[in-house]
Structure 1
């Protein structure tokens, strides 16, 4: 058995061969026809790939009985043998900065079995791309929360990356990936169903990205996450013309709260469209300078529920008590009494959609400003996939 361990530059071919006499000699066992049996072993060639390419193994003058490829951690690089049994290719791509050991059992034309083992290492990645997943693993979310991936580095090979992103659901669900720019300016891919999730759906993502080139950095690991959709559908309908917020559970309105939205006629207007509750942040400091409104306010705000990255929240706003249900006088948020905010905050869930209507708003929530994918119709959303 030949055992070697070599670090091989890109595209260099390493061949591991087994050799023996090509003709029968005295004392060889004859074949059934009376001729000496051919014990010539198969010649095995292992081709170390560049990172991001499959590993291939071939047998000349015979077939491959078994091929096992493992990395330094013992993880198996699975593959399959081609028609005729003389070639094998890995299902996955080789990852950068990884050492692989290849163990092969081959059979010569006469049935002689030989074993071979060789190792090689792929070069380290010059740049590594990482990602952030939402919602969090093993969380329970409302019916509108997309599966969202934000990438640390630009993704120019979007189709290659999207092919490695597999979404499975516990109930049949039609959905699609869409590529967009996150509010941070980073590349982002969201997977949303055609309509809101069916309550109780379990969602799993397998991102088999290890060895994939994003175009501006390599992925050097796989990712897996999963979450569950809440057992009850809850939709928050906000009518800024009537200054009211309605809680709709499983299609039935169970509560109505008087509110005050953004002041018409300027930069303090609210957004309209569907905004998804991103986070329940409790008591936070809100400073108007952070959203481009000068020194209009700087105060601690209770029961803050984030709806967009640009700073639209639903929250307690006791200073606007005279306007709840009567006029829109906020700086862009959806304000309510502290009493109503206390119980409402306790009842909403991250991922609940806020469907906001109103004539005097400043525009529709963009898909990257929080989770605004629901503001695109299904055809327009599908068109944002790199594979369509």
Structure 2
């Protein structure tokens, strides 16, 4: 017998309902699904990576930032691929990557009264790129927070004599001399030399770079002083970098014999011409020592009051060659014509006839050396003009702040 067939089932159709699911939820669900299928750490797993975070110090929008800081850019969760920093003039600020590409630091320091713009790009381990842009400004440069300087030689491309030091005189005291000296780079074709700190005649701080011996003629000399933003102490900073270059001319040394009352110009070690002179009388004897020709000033007014000699003289003097800050000159002195080669009777300068002074003036370069001997006076002070050559080499090296 056949079993009776089951009664047919009745199926009820339900209307389908579609609900909108946020895309973010779908994305997370997809990640979770992939993780579940693959298992923990299994093939096919996928983990959402975080973008690299780039930060700039000083921060974006900062104003009145203290000068003298380094600029730093840091990447968290990746590495920097490009960093460009420019100042308000559009000049690029040098710097370098460190810490395996996670940090960039500027080579120099921020200057007063400057605005800096930083653009940085980075990537994470998955190659995803990110970037950051920031700008900030430092406190304005004022007379109260900056230190200025005077360079010698000061004229770019000048020709100087074999005794000319590189000299930097500061308007205000320098308390961290080592920090300043580290920023001074001299390129002099392999010439051995050293910086030495001295007090200028007016009491100012000064640092000079001189070779071990007189310069070799034809040497090209350049100074790059990367001082922008460097602190000189006392709340003062340098507002800019400085550079200067010059070339050493022919070898010329003027040997002055006070006792013999004459001077001789030597060129390349050979005597060129000897001139009769009248130097300082015993009460105002001319300094001994090596003096570098500081300037050729032509016709100037010389007044005894300016050098502490009362009202002894007030004259217009021709062919004036400045040898010291305190007022030592070689110049024409026609009023002493009867005394040239016979009597030392000046107020401390080296006088000669108009014709001889004119000739010597035309032959010399700023930076040529006067070597004075035979006087009853002592040796001129190192900071009185460029008396650097009166210090022996070992002592001069010891005057560096980096000794």
SS in 2 for 1:132: strand
Shift of 1:227: 0.9
Equivalent residue, structure 1, for 2:30: 26
CA contact (8 A) 2:54 2:131 kept: no
Give the direction of change, closer, same or farther, for the CA distance of 1:77–1:259 in structure 2 (3 Å limit). Answer: same
CA distance in 2, matches of 1:261, 1:181: 27
Residue segments in structure 1 that go unaligned for 5+ positions in a row: 1-19
| Correspondence 1:309 to 2:325 | yes
Structure 1, residues 51-99: CA drift from partner, whole Å, max 9, x if none? 3222222222211122222222222222222132222222111223322
Q: How does 1:297-376 map to 2 (within 5 A)?
A: 297-360=313-376, 362-376=377-391
In structure 1, which of residues 138, 148, 154 is the aligned counterpart of residue 167 of structure 2?
148
Equivalent residue, structure 2, for 1:214: 232
CA distance in 1, matches of 2:245, 2:168: 13
CA contact (8 A) 1:272 1:358 kept: yes
Shift of 1:336: 1.1
CA contact (8 A) 1:24 1:37 kept: no
What is the aligned length?
363
4+ residue stretches of structure 1 with deviation over 6 A?
27-32
CA distance in 1, matches of 2:67, 2:331: 50
Shift of 1:354: 0.1
Equivalent residue, structure 1, for 2:11: none
CA distance in 1, matches of 2:379, 2:160: 23
CA distance in 2, matches of 1:98, 1:339: 54
Shift of 1:27: 8.0
Shift of 1:345: 1.3
In structure 1, which of residues 176, 188, 192 is the aligned counterpart of residue 194 of structure 2?
176
CA contact (8 A) 2:55 2:132 kept: no
Give the direction of change, closer, same or farther, for the CA distance of 1:289–1:94 in structure 2 (3 Å limit). Answer: closer
CA distance in 2, matches of 1:163, 1:338: 47
| Correspondence 1:189 to 2:204 | no
Equivalent residue, structure 2, for 1:42: 52
| Correspondence 1:77 to 2:87 | no
Equivalent residue, structure 1, for 2:278: 260
Equivalent residue, structure 1, for 2:72: 56
Structure 1, residues 250-290: CA drift from partner, whole Å, max 9, x if none? 010111111111111x2x11001001111111122222222
CA contact (8 A) 2:286 2:375 kept: no
Equivalent residue, structure 2, for 1:246: 264
SS in 2 for 1:340: helix
Equivalent residue, structure 2, for 1:128: 146
In structure 2, which of residues 157, 163, 174 is the aligned counterpart of residue 138 of structure 1?
157
SS in 1 for 2:130: strand
Shift of 1:33: 4.3
Residue segments in structure 2 that go unaligned for 5+ positions in a row: 1-23, 59-64
Equivalent residue, structure 1, for 2:108: 92
| Correspondence 1:201 to 2:219 | yes
CA contact (8 A) 1:24 1:38 kept: no
Larger gyration radius, structure 1 or structure 2: 2
Equivalent residue, structure 2, for 1:17: none
Calculate the TM-score normalised by the size of structure 2.
Answer: 0.85
Shift of 1:240: 0.6
CA distance in 2, matches of 1:236, 1:56: 54
SS in 1 for 2:237: coil
Equivalent residue, structure 2, for 1:108: 124
RMSD: 2.3
Q: Which has the higher helix share?
A: 2
Shift of 1:367: 1.4
Shift of 1:123: 2.6
Structure 1, residues 196-251: CA drift from partner, whole Å, max 9, x if none? 11101111111111110111311111111111111x20000000111110110001
